[in-house]
Chain A
Amino acid sequence: MVEARAPTYLDRQRLRTAWLFLAPALLLLLAVAAWPLARTIWFGFTDAFLGDLSAAAFIGLENYLVRYDERWYGLLADPQWWRAVRNTLLFTVVSVTLETVLGVTIALVLNAEFPGRAWVRAAVLVPWAIPTIVSAKMWSWMLNDQFGIVNHALISIGALSQPLAWTAEPGLAMASVILVDVWKTTPFVTLLALAALQLVPKSCYEAAKLDGAGPVRTFFSITLPIVRPALMVAVVFRALDALRVFDVIYVLTSNSVDTMSMSIFARQQLVDFQDMGYGSAAATLLFFIVALAVSVLLTAGRVRLADRGVLR
C-alpha cells in the first residue's frame, strides 16, 4: 500500500473552493428536490387538506390501506388507482416500443446518402421542437369527432362510414394518446439512434457485403449490437418520461378514466378534490414505482452509466 501524502495547504484550499463552487447547486437541489419530496412523503401519512395545510394530522397508513366495517379502503384497495397504474404501464410499453422501432427505422433512412438529406433530417426534428401542449392541441383538433380532418379524410376515401370520437370513445382514447406521444417523441429516439449509427465503421458494412450478408442479417448482426447501448439509454429515458406522463393526456382526454395515468390521478386528488393526503400517497407510490422501473431497466438493459461519460 502506498502511503497517501498528507494534504498540503494548496490541496485543502482547493477542496474548500470545490465545496464553495458546489454550494449554490447543492442548496438549490436540496430546496427544490429533496425537501419537497420529503414533505410529499410525509403528507402521504396525514389527512392534509389543500385548503388548510396546518390542520394536517398524522393518520399512519390510512391513505394506503385501512379496514373499516369489514371493507378495505385506501389507495391499495382503490380500483381507480389500479386502473391508473395499468393505463400508465400500457401507455409506457406500447408508446416506447413504437417509438423505438419507428425511431430506429427513420434513423436508418436518414443514415443513407440521398440528395436533400439535411432537409429531411431537419424536418424530422420539427415534432420534437413543438411544445407537448401545442402538439396535443393540434392533434385534438385533427382528431375532432365532428370537424376533424382525420375523420374527414377517412370518410372521403371510404375507410370509415361515419365519424369516430377518437378521444372520447373508451377503446380509441388510449390509442389516440399513444399516437400523439409517438408523434412527438420519436424524433428524440431518431436523434440518439442516428448519432449512434454514425459510430458504425463503414468497413463493417463492406465486410458484411463481401460475406454475402443481406440487409436484414447485416442489421441484426452488425448494426444493432453497435447501436444497442445508445439505444438502451434512449429507451430508459423515454420509459421514465412515459411513466410520469401528464401533459398530453391532460389536454387530449382530460380526467377521463380510460386514459388516466398515475400522474393525472395524483394531481386530481391533490388539486381538484383538495385531498392532499391521498394525492401525496399516490405521488409517493408513483415515485417508488418509477425508482423501481429505473433500476430494473438499468439492470436488465445492462446500461452501465458508470462506464460511459461522467459517472466514472
Chain B
Amino acid sequence: MQRTGFWLLVTAILLFALFPFYYAIVTSLRPASRLFDPAWLPDAITLANYASVFSEQPFGRNILNSIAVAATVVALALLAGVTAAYALARVQFRGRGLLLAAVLAVSMFPQVAILSGMFELIRALGLYNNLAGLAFSYMVFTLPFTVWILTAFLRELPQDLEEAALIDGANAWQTLTHVFLPLLAPAMVTTGLLAFIAAWNEFLFALTFTLTNDQRTVPVAIALMSGASQYELPWGNIMAASVIVTVPLIALVLAFQRRIVAGLTAGAVKG
C-alpha cells in the first residue's frame, strides 16, 4: 500500500516534469493543419515545422548569434573571474571582505534597475543592435557568480601549493596558470557552463538592446515569432524552434549534472 503510494508520487513527479517538453516535441512533429485538434501522440509525423523555422526567419543566424554571445561571455567571465578569485582567495589584504560583499551585491541587482543606464552606455559605445553590446552587458550577471564560485573552490586548495611554487621561483601568474588552473579545471567547467546557460537564456537585455531580426538571439527570436495576425501564432514553428534550442541544453545539463549541482551548492548553499 505504502509502496503503491510512493510509486504513484514518483509517476506524478515524472509526468509533471516531463509532459510539457514531451508535448512540445509532439506538437513540433505534427503538420500545421492538424494543430487545432489536440492529440496526445503524434498522429502524422512531419519535419515541415523544422524546415519552415529556418526558411521563414533567420533562425540559423539567431542560433549562431546566441552561440557567439554565450561563448564570448564565458571566455570573458572566466578570464576576469579566475584572476579576481585568485587574488580574493589566496592573498590577505584589507578590504577583501568588502569586495566580496560588493560582488555578491551585484549578483542581486535586478536587471531592470540598470536598464536605462546600460541603454545609454551601449548607445554611447556604438554597440546598440550589436552582439558585442549584449556580451558586454551580460557581464553584470555572469561575472559575480563566476568570481564567487571560483573563490569558494580556490579557498579549499592547500596553502603549501603556493609556497612550493614560490620556492621554485614562479611568479603569481605562473602559479595561477601552472599550479592552480589544472586543479581548478572542474570548477571552471562548472562556472563556464552556468555562465553559458545564463547567457543563452537571457531575454530582457537581448530584447531591449537589439532591433533587427538578424541581430537577435534565440530567446528573443522565439518570443517574437508571429504569424499573419496576433491571433494566428505559428505554434508548430515555435515548438520546433523550442525543441531545437532546448535539446542541446538538456543534454549539457544532464551530462554535467554533478558538476552543476556542485557549482550551485558552492554558490548558494555555501554562499
- Using CB atoms and an 8 Å cutoff, list the residues of chain A in contact with chain B: 14-15, 17-19, 21-22, 24-26, 28-29, 31-33, 35-40, 43, 48, 50, 53, 106, 109, 112, 114, 120-135, 137-139, 141-142, 144, 146-149, 152, 183, 187-188, 191-192, 195-196, 230, 233-234, 237, 240, 243-244, 246-247, 250-251, 262-263, 266-267, 270-271, 276, 279-280, 283-284, 286-287, 290-291, 294, 305, 308-312
A-B contact count (CB 8 A): 287
Assuming the contacts A120-B13, A250-B223, A305-B271, asked whether A286 and B112 have C-beta atoms less than 8 A apart, the reply is: yes
Nearest B residue to A294 via CB reads B108
Q: Are B6 and A114 in contact (CB under 8 A)?
A: yes
Task: Find residues 101-149 in chain B having any chain A CB closer than 8 Å to their own CB.
Answer: 101-104, 106, 108-121, 123, 136-137, 139-140, 143-144, 147-148
Q: Is the CB of A183 within 8 A of B109?
A: no
Contacts of B69 in A (CB 8 A): none
Q: Which residues of A contact B155 (CB under 8 A)?
A: 310
Q: Is the CB of A191 within 8 A of B91?
A: no
Q: Are A32 and B118 in contact (CB under 8 A)?
A: yes
In chain B, what residue has the closest Cβ to A261?
Answer: B112
Pairwise interchain contact B269-A196, C-beta atoms closer than 8 A: yes
Asked if B181 is an interface residue, CB under 8 A from chain A, the answer is no
CB <8 Å contact, B203 and A311: no
Size class of the B contact interface (CB-based, 8 Å): 35 or more
- B246 at the A interface (CB under 8 A): yes
The smallest beta-carbon distance between A14 and chain B, in angstroms, is 6
Of A25, A250, A251, A309, most B-chain CB atoms within 10 Å: A25
The contact string, 1 if C-beta is below 8 Å from chain A, for chain B 181-217, is 0000000000000000100110110011000000000
Question: Which residues in A have their C-beta under 8 angstroms from that of B218?
Answer: 131
List the A side residues contacting B36 at CB < 8 Å: 146-147
Residue of B nearest to A265 (CB): B112
Kindly list chain A residues whose C-beta atoms are within 8 Å of the C-beta of B10. 109, 114, 120
Q: Which residue of B lies closest to A44 (CB)?
A: B116
The answer to whether A134 and B246 touch across the interface, beta carbons within 8 angstroms, is yes
Given contacts A53-B120, A138-B242, contact A123 B14 (CB under 8 A): yes
A37 touches B6 (CB 8 A): no
Partner of B104, one of A271, A276, A290, A305: A305
When chains A and B are docked, how far (Å) is the Cα of A283 from the Cα of B109? Answer: 11
Cβ A109 vs Cβ B246 within 8 A: no
Cα–Cα, bound, A43→B10 (Å): 52
User: In the complex, which residue of chain B has the Cβ closest to the Cβ of A305?
Assistant: B271
Closest to B225 in A: A137
Is A21 in contact with B14, judged by CB distance below 8 angstroms? Answer: no
Given contacts A106-B13, A135-B20, contact A122 B79 (CB under 8 A): no
Residues in chain A near residue B201, CB distance under 8 A: 131-133
Q: Is A26 a contact of B140 with CB atoms below 8 Å?
A: no
Is the CB–CB distance between B14 and A35 below 8 Å? Answer: no
Please measure, in the bound complex, the distance between the C-alpha atom of A28 and the C-alpha atom of B152, giving whole angstroms: 21
B116 surroundings in chain A (CB, below 8 A)? 36, 39-40, 43, 48, 270, 276, 279-280, 283
Asked if A24 contacts B80 (CB within 8 A), the reply is yes
What is the CA–CA distance of A35 and B14 in the complex, to the nearest angstrom? 45
Structural contact, A126 and B21, CB atoms closer than 8 A: yes
A228 to chain B, nearest CB (A): 12
A122-B257, A127-B17 known; A29 and B144 CB under 8 Å?
yes
Residue of B86, B103, B245 near A21 (CB, 8 A) is B86
Query: A40 to B112, alpha carbons, bound, how many Å?
Result: 10
User: B148 touches which one: A106, A134, A310 (CB < 8 A)?
Assistant: A310
| A25-B81 Cα distance, complex, nearest whole Å | 6
- Is B53 at the interface (CB under 8 A from chain A)? no
A237–B104 alpha-carbon span in the complex (Å): 12
List the A side residues contacting B47 at CB < 8 Å.
none
The reply on B165 being an interface residue by CB < 8 A is no
Query: Most chain-A CB neighbours within 10 Å: which of B37, B121, B137, B140?
Result: B140
The answer on a CB contact under 8 Å between A37 and B114 is yes
CB under 8 Å from chain A, chain B span 1-32: 6, 9-10, 13-14, 16-18, 20-21, 23-24, 27
* Most chain A CB atoms below 10 A, which of B38, B117, B140: B117
User: What is the distance, in angstroms, from B214's C-beta to the closest C-beta of chain A?
Assistant: 19
